[in-house]
Amino acid sequence: MLVPERERQAMNQQSDQSRKTGHVVAAVLLLVLFAQAMTAIPRLSITFDEDLHISTGYGTLRTGDLRLVEDHPPLIGHLISWPLLLSPDVPDPEEIPAWETGDRRLFVRNQVWWGVPIDLWTIPPRIPVAWLALLLGVFLFRWATDWFGPRAGLFALALYVFDPNIL
């Protein structure tokens, strides 16, 4: 069955309008995610291994020496630790006694808990993680939209944005 030209143009305009609306709703959801992350960052307590990842990431990023990396590639440690390079208050890793021995746990205790404000260690490194969560949300929306349509993309993104495990 042939669709008249005028009807086809009307359907295309409706499709374009619904696509734009879907993208606006997705952008609002992503802004909600980022706002939740940024307001939660100073209020959340440090996780059991967060100090380890931040300290070893900072040490390897600052010196280029991978002696403290034992569990996985250092990329995420470098990503979360680069804001610490901007602070003059963070000590040089090579000045910490545990650096020479390569003892990760002692290095973390020496670097994190001795004389450096804990906010300096927790707030700046969490910001790149919030950006990663935002980027993952964009990819999730795109993937779900491509596979299952715009409504499914918005539904998947909404589930992701309001999942407490993501924060």
CB-count burial class (<10 Å; 0-12, 13-18, 19+) for 34: middle
Whether residue 83 contacts residue 122, with contact meaning beta carbons closer than 8 Å, is answered with: no
Measured from the Cβ of residue 122, the count of other Cβ atoms closer than 10 Å reads: 19
Please tell me the distance from the alpha carbon of residue 5 to that of residue 13, in angstroms, as a whole number.
12
| pLDDT confidence of residue 82 | 93
Residue 56 is predicted with a pLDDT of 87
- Per-residue model confidence (pLDDT) at position 106: 86
* Local mean pLDDT, 10-residue blocks, the chain (167 residues): 59 70 96 96 88 88 88 88 88 84 83 71 92 98 96 97 91
Task: Name the residue ranges covered by the structural domains of the chain.
Answer: 45-161
- pLDDT value, residue 46: 85
pLDDT reported for residue 112: 62
pTM: 0.82
C-alpha triplet 142, 74, 131: angle, nearest 5°: 35
pLDDT for 110 = 75
57, 98, 104, 167 from 101: Cα distances, Å? 17, 5, 9, 35
